Structure 1
Amino acid sequence: MQFSANLGFLWSDLALPDAIRAAAAAGFDAVECHWPYAHAPEAVSAALAETGLAMLGLNTLRGQPGENGLSAIPGREAEARAEIDRAITYARAIGCGSVHVMAGVAEGPQAETVFLANLDHACRAAPDLTILIEPLNSYDAPGYFLSRSDQAVALIERLGHPNLKLMFDCYHLQIMEGDLTRRLTRLLPVIGHVQIAAVPDRGTPDHGEVDYRHICAVLRDLGWDRPLGAEYKPVGATGDSLGWLPELRRI
């Protein structure tokens, strides 16, 4: 199995170009990030070229302090689309394949209408990229518009864009729904990326209530051939948290 280092959590003490180099030195197959915008895309592209790693994904900005995305918030459509366009531009500049459009804290039919319109904008503006939506658990992200996989799938099916996919974060979905084996199998056609972390502490994927040896084997048997995103919170130095990597890579 291949793995992508999520540099929002791993090597977060380093500047993004140096974090890319650290991930390559540690043996990761790819990288992904949250919000790279403080770094010039030329510097990020240079680090990617130097290491031979691909940047798999990045997020739209959250908005103001305390916010968690803008794209489902009524009245914020202009801001949301500006951030979507910024993310698309940055992704193209560094050769990144996907953009996660963050919904934000909102609820109700009007929020759904706004989110659908903004996702439609994103998909039409970037047919060359994968647009991702991710359910977040309601403990870590209370009030977040998107919290369950069936809700995400309904939005994807309603819009019908081939480049709109589900970010299947095993950590969030285990907390909200469980039954990861059947859920991965059923939802595989609409999954654009898979992320892993221990449940419930979001630590290294070698402990807790999810056996990632099993999850990796399930994905292998389903024909999944893309890197899994290691989006966990290390305790201490990232380099000291990688004991799980050799075993899962062998699957």
Structure 2
Amino acid sequence: MKFSANLGFLWNDRPLPDAIRAAKAAGFDAVECHWPYEFPSTEVSDALAETGLPMLGLNTLRGGPGENGLSALPGRDRDARAAIDKAIAYADAIGAQAIHVMAGFADGPDAKKTFLDNLRYARRSCPAPITLLIEPLNRHDAPGYFLKTTDQAAALLSELDLPGVKLMFDCYHVGRMEGDIVTRLRALLPQVGHIQFAAVPDRGPPDHGEIDYRYVFDQISTMGWQRPLGAEYKPSGKTENTLGWLDCTEAC
């Protein structure tokens, strides 16, 4: 099993290029991030080249204060598409493999139409090798977020019916909203572009909580998934002190 360090949470006390180097030293196979835009793309590219780690993905901007994405917000198309353009340019510059198009806080048919229209814009604008991802967020952490469940996301992807637009399946969010993670993942696997994980319910490292991740990882392996899984958890204290699970997946 291969793992990616999500540098939005892991080693987020240091500049992104240094966090990439730390992930390499810790034994990760890839990295991903949230919003890297404050760092020059050349510095990030240099760190990726130095370490040999692929950058799996990044997010579109959240927007203004209190916002959590723009692409499903009616009347905000100009802002949403500017955020999409910015993400595409940065992803292309650093060789990122995917962009998470953040929907934002919205609901109803107008929000659905807006989100689909902006995803179509993103797919037209984005180089073919870059995958676009959409992700349901649980109602405890993100009340009012447009995408709430994997069923909703899967239905949108089916309606959209565009190549290279996939589901970000975060075991943490699914665990908090729906449960039955392995069954849900197996059913949705053809639509999945990336898998992430964290402990439920505290979003800590995957060595405690309600989910037995050794079982989950084993089941994902039997499904034939070969891409790195994204460690998107919140460490309490230094990241290095929370990595016992990483050794355990190989040796325990």
Q: What secondary structure does 1:244 align onto?
A: helix
2:247 is aligned to: 246
Partner Cα separation in structure 1 for residue 30 and residue 136 of structure 2: 23
Tell me if the contact between 1:70 and 1:79 (Cα under 8 Å) persists in the aligned partners: yes
Give deviations 1:167-189, integer Å, cap 9, x for gaps.
00000011110111111110000
Q: What secondary structure does 2:247 align onto?
A: helix
Change (3 A) 1:114 1:23: same
Q: CA deviation at 1:249?
A: 3.8
Give deviations 1:51-71, integer Å, cap 9, x for gaps.
000000000000001100000
1:42 is aligned to: 42
2:236 is aligned to: 235
1:181 aligns with 2:182: yes
Q: What secondary structure does 1:195 align onto?
A: strand
Q: CA deviation at 1:162?
A: 1.3
CA RMSD of the aligned region, Å? 0.9
1:155 is aligned to: 156
Q: For residue 58 of structure 2, what is the amino acid of its counterpart?
A: L
1:107 is aligned to: 107
Tell me if the contact between 1:2 and 1:249 (Cα under 8 Å) persists in the aligned partners: no
2:24 is aligned to: 24
1:169 aligns with 2:179: no
Q: Which runs of 4+ in 1 moved over 2 A?
A: none
Change (3 A) 1:113 1:168: same
Q: What secondary structure does 2:8 align onto?
A: coil
- TM-score, structure 1 length as denominator? 0.99
1:130 is aligned to: 131
Tell me how many residue pairs correspond in the alignment. Answer: 251
Give deviations 1:62-116, integer Å, cap 9, x for gaps.
0001100000000100100010011011001000000000000000000000000
Partner Cα separation in structure 2 for residue 159 and residue 168 of structure 1: 18
Tell me if the contact between 1:57 and 1:97 (Cα under 8 Å) persists in the aligned partners: yes
Partner Cα separation in structure 1 for residue 123 and residue 218 of structure 2: 32
Partner Cα separation in structure 1 for residue 182 and residue 65 of structure 2: 36
Give deviations 1:30-51, integer Å, cap 9, x for gaps.
0000000000000000000000
Q: CA deviation at 1:247?
A: 1.5
1:117 aligns with 2:117: yes
Q: For residue 141 of structure 1, what is the amino acid of its counterpart?
A: A
Q: What secondary structure does 2:244 align onto?
A: coil
Q: For residue 197 of structure 1, what is the amino acid of its counterpart?
A: A
Q: Percent identity?
A: 64
5+ unaligned residues in a row in structure 1: which ranges? none
Q: CA deviation at 1:125?
A: 1.3
Q: For residue 129 of structure 1, what is the amino acid of its counterpart?
A: I
2:52 is aligned to: 52
Q: CA deviation at 1:250?
A: 5.3
Partner Cα separation in structure 1 for residue 211 and residue 184 of structure 2: 14
Q: For residue 219 of structure 2, what is the amino acid of its counterpart?
A: V
1:33 is aligned to: 33
Partner Cα separation in structure 2 for residue 250 and residue 219 of structure 1: 18
Tell me if the contact between 1:205 and 1:212 (Cα under 8 Å) persists in the aligned partners: yes
2:3 is aligned to: 3
Q: For residue 31 of structure 1, what is the amino acid of its counterpart?
A: V
2:91 is aligned to: 91
Give deviations 1:203-225, integer Å, cap 9, x for gaps.
01011001111111111000000
Q: For residue 4 of structure 2, what is the amino acid of its counterpart?
A: S
